[in-house]
Amino acid sequence: MLEVQHVTAGYGKLEVLSDLSIQFRPGRFTAIAGPNGCGKSSLLKAIMRFLPLSKGEIMLDGKPLEKIGRKKLARRIAYLPQECFCPDYMTLGELIELAGHSRYELVGGPSERDRELFSQVLKTVGLSDRAGFPVNKLSGGQRQRAWIAMVLAQDTEIILMDEPVNNLDITYQFAVLELVRDLVENHGKTVISVLHDLNLTAAFADDVALMRGGQCLISGTVEDAVTPENIESVFGLKAQVFEKEGRLVCFPERSETTVFC
Amino acid sequence: MQRRLVFLSAMTFLLPVVAGVHLFLGFRSTDLPQLLFAFAGSDAQSFEEAVLLYQRVPRTLIALYVGGVTAVCGFVLQSLVRNPLASPTTLGVNAGAALFLVAGVLLFNLDTKLQGAAALVGALSGFLASLAVAKAAGRRNDPRGLSLILSGALVTMFFTGLTNALLLSDPARRSDLLSWIVGTINHAYADRLALFWWVGVIAILMLLVLARPLTLILFGAEKAASTGVNVPIVSGLAILAAVLGAGSAVAICGPIGFVGLVVPHIVRPLVGNNLRISLPAAFLTGAMVCIMADLIGREALYPFSLSTGLVTDLVGGVVFILIIKRFYLSSGAQQGVA
């Protein structure tokens, strides 16, 4: 169980998380949503310890995260940044082999078990025939699945994703999120993902955390949290929420005058 | 994967061939069988054997060491600085080592051993000076690391100016250093190789051990850290190893330019960016390039000989322009390290 307790953090004087508390339930897909600049990515960075905390603590199974070494942490939590950069000529096979770094000896390499995991991972993301292919020559949707493969090859129970479906067309958005859904349901992973789109959140996530101004205003299951009142208080936007085929759909209303605040 | 292994094995096969040509070219073919036995004996039995044992062999070994080590260090620097123009030549490393060695000889009369130490300190100082200038110029706002390269050029000019001033101030002794300062592979430097070879060996072993975490750092500091890499320690150790390795090469035969810049660009498209494979490939290729440059310098204008450093500078300068064109001036220029 990953728990964020009264965390305040920022870049220099700029405070991006202020007294934020949230619990992420294991074996669930939690989406983090909220307006731009509300601290969604910073929350993930704080969990990964890229952002030093000035107050509060983040606990993993009751143990403060900062007491866990980098290598040990890499065996528990994997992280998919918002923008990934792959060096040229790197093949997909090399990419996922590198991901297991925390399990290898310094001069050693992957074990037999690791190799089995890698071929399983490639099958899961549907890229079994692309192992020898340079990552930078894959199509946009395939590349995003390659990054997810790298995260899966790290073989952790918790996976953090920062907008994994950004810049993908709607087909790939669904394909990637179906894959994430499958990881949670059939592979026992805990996924915590920043997602911009409330409709995608409602369609795929179990839980949702709505953030604003560096705080988590509302958290709970999708059914409880995605309501017109909550959307208005977090996004400042009037919206209808209705159910269609067992799924919630948000329908923002157009206003006569656009207000930027 | 196939092509990578083919390239590695081809280089492993070609390097001894080129080294053999470097060793034996110019001897009468009738002497060759007997010359092969020269390695078995303890001392030279003829003039030819003396040339082989005391001139050719040291030269080949120096070229092998300098080319190999410089290329590996250049590869690592390009990876860490994330800039295709990074190399010991362009980051002030070579100029720093040269300045400190010349100052050590002319101002403090250091012996050969301490000259090496001075060159290593100089290599580090040159790199740190380039870093400091880049920081002052606002490197944080420059993701492609070009400011570091420009700072390196600035530091190189400044250090070279100081080196030249020192040389000019001491006409009596400057001739000893003149051929060293342009980078010369010369059998006279065999004792320097004997003194400093271990620096490069340790540097390369260290870089090979760090190859996987270093490869992960190519994906960006945060991605690397998320996979369990201690980024500050790994990159710090790697830079130290690369700078000292390159400095040791300068300590032996002066700054041989551009090998550290050009060889990574030859190697990368052929074997990729996985440092476990590309560092050995860079070593083999760098060694071969340097042996060939020395061969050209020796044979092209026979009976006159060109400094190896001049040959690599001439060829490297042209390739430098091609790299700039490809990475900075072409439409859709590539991001970061190729």
Tokens coding A160: 């953090």
Q: Which residues on neighbouring strands pair with residue A30, listed in sequence order?
A: A192, A207
- Smallest Cα–Cα separation from A24: which of A202, A161, A150, A186? A161
CA atoms of B265 and B282, how far apart (whole Å):
9
CB A149 within 8 A of CB A183: no
Task: Establish if A114 belongs to a structural domain.
Answer: yes
- A50 reaches B (C-beta below 8 A): yes
The per-residue pLDDT for B338 is 41
Tokens coding B78: 């390009």
CB contact under 8 A, A85 and B215: no
Give the DSSP H/E element, type plus range, for residue A161: strand A158-162
The per-residue pLDDT for B141 is 67
Q: How close B131 comes to chain A (CA, Å)?
A: 23
pLDDT tens digits, residue range B149-158? 899 999 999 9
Tokens coding B267: 């190697």
- Smallest Cα–Cα separation from A2: which of A221, A156, A232? A156
- Smallest Cα–Cα separation from B68: which of B177, B191, B214, B208? B208
- A204 reaches B (C-beta below 8 A): no
- B238 reaches A (C-beta below 8 A): no
CA atoms of A29 and A193, how far apart (whole Å):
8
Task: Establish if A260 belongs to a structural domain.
Answer: no
- B212 reaches A (C-beta below 8 A): yes
CA atoms of A89 and B336, how far apart (whole Å):
13
Q: Which residues on neighbouring strands pair with residue A29, listed in sequence order?
A: A191
Number of domains in chain B: 1
The per-residue pLDDT for B105 is 92
- B37 reaches A (C-beta below 8 A): no
Within B227-336, residue ranges assigned H as helices are: 231-253, 259-271, 275-299, 308-324
CB contact under 8 A, A132 and B1: yes
The per-residue pLDDT for A43 is 95
CB contact under 8 A, A101 and B227: yes
CA distances from B31 to B35, B47, B247 (A): 6, 11, 39
User: Who contacts B91 (Cβ-Cβ below 8 Å, separation ≥6)?
Assistant: B77, B81, B126, B127, B130, B148, B149, B152
Choose, out of A66, A85, A147, the residue to mutate when testing the contact with B (most B CBs < 10 Å): A85
Expressed as residue numbers, the domain containing B301 is: 2-337
Contacts of A75 in chain B (CB under 8 A): 228
The per-residue pLDDT for A243 is 84
Contacts of B336 in chain A (CB under 8 A): 85, 87
Model ipTM value: 0.90
Largest CA distance in chain A: 64
CB A211 within 8 A of CB A31: no
CB contact under 8 A, B225 and A90: no
Q: How close A109 comes to chain B (CA, Å)?
A: 9
CA atoms of B76 and A164, how far apart (whole Å):
31
CB contact under 8 A, A85 and B219: yes
Cα angle value B60/B63/B67 (rounded, 5°): 145
Mean pLDDT of chain A: 90
CATH code where residue B51 lies: 1.10.3470.10
The per-residue pLDDT for B234 is 95
Task: Establish if A259 belongs to a structural domain.
Answer: no
Chain A, nearest residue to B225 by Cα: A70
CB A8 within 8 A of CB A54: yes
CA atoms of A17 and A11, how far apart (whole Å):
10
CB atoms near residue B16 (< 10 Å): 11
CATH code where residue A190 lies: 3.40.50.300
Expressed as residue numbers, the domain containing A7 is: 2-252
The per-residue pLDDT for B128 is 95
Task: Establish if A226 belongs to a structural domain.
Answer: yes
Q: Token match 């209808």: residue?
A: A240
- B274 reaches A (C-beta below 8 A): yes
Choose, out of A101, A137, A156, A162, the residue to mutate when testing the contact with B (most B CBs < 10 Å): A101
CB contact under 8 A, B227 and A93: no
CB A189 within 8 A of CB A183: yes
Q: Which residues on neighbouring strands pair with residue A3, listed in sequence order?
A: A23, A59
User: Who contacts B316 (Cβ-Cβ below 8 Å, separation ≥6)?
Assistant: B89, B257, B258, B259, B261, B262
* Average pLDDT per block of 10 residues along chain B, 338 residues long: 85 93 84 76 78 88 95 94 88 94 93 91 95 82 76 94 93 84 84 92 96 94 94 95 95 88 90 93 95 88 81 84 76 49
CB atoms near residue B70 (< 10 Å): 37
CA atoms of B279 and B283, how far apart (whole Å):
6
Number of domains in chain A: 1
Task: Establish if A257 belongs to a structural domain.
Answer: no
Residue ranges of chain A with pLDDT lower than 50? Answer: none
Residues in chain B: 338
Q: Which residues on neighbouring strands pair with residue A63, listed in sequence order?
A: A60
The per-residue pLDDT for A256 is 62
Chain B, nearest residue to A73 by Cα: B228
- A130 reaches B (C-beta below 8 A): no
- DSSP three-state, residue B111: coil
User: Who contacts B197 (Cβ-Cβ below 8 Å, separation ≥6)?
Assistant: B65, B248
- B338 reaches A (C-beta below 8 A): yes
- Smallest Cα–Cα separation from B88: which of B133, B123, B137? B123
Q: How close A229 comes to chain B (CA, Å)?
A: 37
Task: Establish if A201 belongs to a structural domain.
Answer: yes
The per-residue pLDDT for B232 is 93
- Tell me the residue ranges of DSSP E strands in A12-123: 14-24, 29-33, 53-60, 63-64, 77-80
- DSSP three-state, residue A163: coil
- A98 reaches B (C-beta below 8 A): yes
Q: How close A196 comes to chain B (CA, Å)?
A: 22
pLDDT tens digits, residue range A36-49? 889 999 999 999 99
